[in-house]
Structure 1
Amino acid sequence: MKEIQHRSDCPIAYSLDYLGDKWVLLILRDLIFTNKSSYGDFLNSDERIATNILADRLKLLEEHGFIRSTVSPEKKNKFIYSLTEKGIDLIPVIVELMIWGSKYDSYEAKEIVKKLEKDKEGTIKQLREKLLGQTGTNNPQ
């Protein structure tokens, strides 16, 4: 697993120590905005993450409390990943990256971007409530 070594007291540097990796951000994106929740689901993302990198980033996210894994009720050898409250707290950050990227890319804006443009706070609240419901926690604290 990628070792995290904090190089300074700067909050941005601290955040980048965990979130400065594109694969981490794409896994978080998939957990927030899609129904992807398993190793196989993440492997099938358009970006084509390598198996060793995926395993490493899932372990990193879990060990540092951004996600949790549970055994699938259908298949005992399959893990289902979900965001913890710490991971859910990243929704506004991921949303801002998505909005910024959609402003400068040449692709047609996705439906979620259109929703965010109309009502960013309401959409973030809906995403947060949906994901908190998946964690079994209704208390946003």
Structure 2
Amino acid sequence: MRNEKKLKYSCAIQYTLDLIGGKWKLIILWHLTHKEIMRYGEIKRSLTGITHKMLSQQLKDLEADGFIHRKEYPQIPPKVEYSLTDLGKSLLPVLQSMSNWGNEHMQ
């Protein structure tokens, strides 16, 4: 995780939102909680409306911050798999609570 981020915040929520905020990061993490390993194409198909560039950037950010692990296999065509790290898995209760709240209030 990028330690320099920890130093510029006095509010834990602001820090957390900087790491996982935005339109796509939480949704990517949520989809990764349902499957142990997902390939890039699977993630892309599960997200309606995301561009290739945005998905690539969000995955790079999540990897840099330690939430996901990226495993690349040296083959042709390239095979890349994504999975949650322990840090990413630690967000599961938060994501589940958000899902429950949404299900209750979406009606």
1:20, distance to aligned residue in structure 2 (A)? 1.3
1:48, distance to aligned residue in structure 2 (A)? 2.6
Alpha-carbon distance change, 65 to 44 in structure 1, aligned in 2, over 3 angstroms = same
Q: Which residue is equivalent to 1:26? A: 27
After the TM superposition, which parts of structure 1 deviate over 3 Å for at least 4 consecutive aligned residues?
A: 4-7, 72-76
Q: Which residue is equivalent to 1:125? A: none
Q: Which has the larger radius of gyration?
A: 1
Task: Report percent identity of matched pairs.
Answer: 35
Runs (5+) with no aligned partner, structure 2: none
**Superposition TM-score, scaled by structure 1 size:** 0.65
Runs (5+) with no aligned partner, structure 1: 107-141
* Count of matched residue positions in the alignment of Structure 1 and Structure 2: 103
1:76, distance to aligned residue in structure 2 (A)? 5.9
Which string of whole-angstrom CA distances, capped at 9 and with x for unpartnered residues, describes residues 10-29 of structure 1?
A: 00000000111120011101
**Relative contact order, CA 8 A, sep 6+: which one is greater?**
2
Q: Distance in 1 between matches of 2:47 and 2:72?
A: 25
| Structure 1 stretch displaced more, 38-47 or 59-68 | 38-47
**Superposition TM-score, scaled by structure 2 size:** 0.84
Q: Which residue is equivalent to 2:61? A: 60
